[in-house]
Amino acid sequence: MTHLAKFLGASAVLALSAGAALADPALVFDLGGKFDKSFNESAHTGATRWAEETGNSYAEVELQSDAQREQALRRFAEAGNNPIVTVGFSFMTPLEEIAADYPDTKFVIVDGVVDLPNVRSVIFNEHEGSYLVGMMAAMASESDTIGFIGGMDIPLIRKFACGYAQGAQAVNADITVLANMTGTTPAAWNDPVKGSELTQAQISQGADVVYAAAGGTGIGVLQTAADEGIKSIGVDSNQNYLQPGSVLTSMVKRVDNAVYDAFEAGTEIETGINVMGVDNEGVGVAVDEHNEALVTEEMTAAVEDAKAKIASGEIAVHDYMSDESCPSLSF
Amino acid sequence: MDFLTLIQVFDTTIRLATPLLLACLAGLFSERAGIFDIGLEGKMLASAFLTAAVAAVTGSVLVGLLAGIGGAMALAGIHGLASITFRGNQLISGVAINFLAAGLTVVVAQSWFGQGGRTPQLSGNARFGTIDLPFAAEIRDIPLLGPIYADLISGHSLLVYVGLLMVPLTWYVLFRTRFGLRLRAVGENPAAVDTAGISVVGLRYAAVAICGLLTGLAGAYLSTGLQAGFVKDMTAGRGYIALAALIFAKWRPWYALGACLLFGFLQALALRPDVIEGTLGFEVGVQLLDALPYILTVVILAGFVGRAIPPRAGGEPYVKER
């Protein structure tokens, strides 16, 4: 036992001294942890892809509590890591506080905006990605009724719903889009029971494709859609594998690309606001072995066509957050 | 609102009311014995997690259910220890249990499964399937009665029927057995029970244990009956709504059934804004429907509709006179 303890101690010291060579980039995960099958895991994928392709190393940390955010950022900054990539809007407050203390270090925040000279803020055009899955939903629907289930009723989630409705109506002008929000408190992100019942309610109103943009609540939506034999659409990361054969596709935010780009740019990274949209592969639809059979050639063609048109500006998807209103859906 | 829509809304009502009902009856046993319990939420959450986790590992939902009940009863034991043996503040102990469960479930789930505080998705025998009552398919086509029997009464998971059976059982135990009489007396006047030579502490522990058992069933229903896995904080405040229902029901089993069905119905209606608009002709805010259970409880508490009198010795630790 004591030998084992010594060995573990020695290897821990080795691991500590081996980490954090000068100017290695660093990655700070949010509370969900590295393998959360969602946002953080996507960041991890991007970082490992960069490490494999370039042969370089990077430092990383998984936070265990909110209080560690600032501490972790300061540790990395003082160890000379550059750039330091943070994942999640919860890092906005700590970054606002500490970024000015390390003017020579570049910080990146994914999914949030911090207006400081050494911070790059990566945001996603979720409405464009939702537009694409809305088109696919409308093409997959046989009842001409599709549903949207949001988590907490906040402008960001209405942005998803609005883009989705626009995409569906672009394919089928007569389509009915049902939109429900799970609630108005943060509990709405983790209420799969209510997600299930909302799905049931939308099914009884005729919906046969349901798009969930609701965090943990979405697990219940996808489950009920699979149990009831209708199609569903996942969000944020590729959720096709959760219910193979029932999830039509997922609207993915390519956090991995954002992290990869930041690592690739290194210390010379451009600061300011970086918008990840359809044109730079920041958002898109997920197709893999779990949903190939559901995605028809017409869908692929239509999505590719719309992607090109959005990128060229021919199609302008209305952003709910730009004026707090949606032309194609009433809430 | 046509008949089939009504059936669907009532169907949803039953599913949403069941966890409330089980938790409400759990609180009823505990509070009737003089132990206030705002830790219902935490015990449900612990059971929801343990049931799903053990079911995922063993592949059997019944083994999971036992683990879930065990977890909830362990937390109930802590509550009992703090508030009966050590005569601590029952409200503080309840709050502590809620926090403990909210944190522990996620941490343990992350370390066991590494899926961001979730359990793996359950399938097959690892979740409660729906039970089709006899002849459900045959009489479905009979007008009126057919859909009511086949869609509304039949086709729920085992725990729904267990929950409904718990209502008469609770009534019988509390009002027709010696144990029930003593349990109620312990909540009203523990000194009298003690004078009669009956253990106050023993009765209160028994009540708290039953509370653990019932919250265990409620939590298991959430994660393996309604869902196929655990998600962090998945109880989403149902333990508190159950407490409101308990006050609304004036600490009586049959009233509890009514209160939980009413609250479940309000939640079910909130899911169908189209039905409300179609029936009433104007829009009603979903937020209002969500808040109605609490508003109704405040109305009852304020004494507008009858009076809700809690057990007299509720919340007070019993100190034997020396």
Whether B234 and A200 lie within 8 Å, measured CB to CB: no
Q: In what order do the strands lie in the sheet with A145-152?
A: A176-183, A145-152, A209-213, A231-236, A247-253, A283-285
CATH number for the domain that contains residue B210: 1.10.3470
Q: Are residues A120 and A148 in the same domain?
A: no
Nearest by Cα to A149 from A112, A186, A117, A197: A197
Any domain includes B140: no
A-B C-beta contacts closer than 8 Å: 88
The rounded distance, in Å, linking the Cα atoms of B127 and B53 is: 11
The last residue of a domain, from among A91, A108, A124? A124
What domain range includes position B117? 3-127+147-301
Any domain includes A4: no
Is pLDDT at A37 greater than 80 in this prediction?
no
Whether B233 and A187 lie within 8 Å, measured CB to CB: yes
Taking CA A202 as the corner, what is the angle to CA A198 and CA A203, rounded to the nearest 5 degrees? Answer: 115
The rounded distance, in Å, linking the Cα atoms of B81 and B101 is: 17
**pLDDT range class, residue A2, cuts 50, 70, 90:** low
Q: Are residues A193 and A300 in the same domain?
A: yes
The secondary structure element, H or E, covering residue A232 is strand A231-236
Q: Are residues A54 and A170 in the same domain?
A: no
Q: Give ipTM to 2 decimals.
A: 0.87
Report residue A173 as tokens: 């002008």
Q: Are A262 and A18 in contact (CB under 8 A)?
A: no
Q: Are residues A202 and A289 in the same domain?
A: yes
Report residue A298 as tokens: 């017409």
The rounded distance, in Å, linking the Cα atoms of A177 and A167 is: 11
Report residue A156 as tokens: 């960001």
> Nearest-CA residue of chain A relative to B14?
A197
Nearest by Cα to B49 from B5, B111, B142: B111
How high is the pLDDT of residue B188?
Answer: 94
Q: Which of A37, A184, A223 is opposite residue B227, by nearest beta carbon?
A: A223
C-alpha distance from A187 to closest chain B C-alpha (Å): 6
Is pLDDT at B118 greater than 50 in this prediction?
yes
The rounded distance, in Å, linking the Cα atoms of A275 and A125 is: 7
Is pLDDT at A133 greater than 70 in this prediction?
yes
Average pLDDT over residues B216-234: 93
Any domain includes A131: yes
Please give the tally of structural domains in chain A: 2
Whether B274 and A194 lie within 8 Å, measured CB to CB: no
Instruction: Tell me, rounded to whole angstroms, the distance of Cα B116 from its chain centroid.
Output: 26
The last residue of a domain, from among A124, A143, A165? A124
Residues B186-214: pLDDT tens digits?
A: 999 999 999 999 999 999 999 999 999 99
Q: Which of B19, B271, B290 is opposite residue A201, by nearest beta carbon?
A: B271
Q: Which of B8, B115, B271 is opposite residue A36, by nearest beta carbon?
A: B115
How high is the pLDDT of residue A22?
Answer: 57
Q: Are residues A145 and A96 in the same domain?
A: no
Q: Are residues A107 and A182 in the same domain?
A: no
Any domain includes B17: yes
Q: Are residues A176 and A304 in the same domain?
A: yes
Q: Are residues A65 and A157 in the same domain?
A: no
Please give the tally of structural domains in chain B: 1
B236 close contact with A: CB closer than 8 A? yes
Q: Are A144 and A209 in contact (CB under 8 A)?
A: no
Chain A residues touching B5 at Cβ < 8 A: 204
Q: Are residues A113 and A166 in the same domain?
A: no
CATH number for the domain that contains residue A150: 3.40.50.2300
Any domain includes A13: no
Any domain includes A230: yes
Report residue B118 as tokens: 């979730």
What domain range includes position A248? 127-253+283-323
- Within 8 A by CB and 6+ apart from B110, the residues are A33, B116, B117
Nearest by Cα to B152 from B22, B18, B14, B256: B14
Nearest by Cα to B90 from B104, B79, B100: B79
- Within 8 A by CB and 6+ apart from A108, the residues are A83, A84, A85, A86, A119, A120, A121, A122, A258, A262, A269
The last residue of a domain, from among A67, A94, A124? A124
Residues A261-286: pLDDT tens digits?
A: 999 998 888 899 999 999 888 999 99
Helix B200-220 crosses helix B158-176 at what angle (to 10 degrees)?
Answer: 160
Percentage of residues in chain A having pLDDT higher than 70: 93
Average pLDDT over residues A159-182: 94
Q: Are B222 and A193 in contact (CB under 8 A)?
A: yes
**pLDDT range class, residue B3, cuts 50, 70, 90:** confident
Any domain includes A329: no
Q: Are residues A113 and A160 in the same domain?
A: no
Q: Are residues A156 and A290 in the same domain?
A: yes
The rounded distance, in Å, linking the Cα atoms of B315 and B119 is: 36
C-alpha distance from A194 to closest chain B C-alpha (Å): 8
The rounded distance, in Å, linking the Cα atoms of A291 and A60 is: 33
Q: Are residues A205 and A168 in the same domain?
A: yes
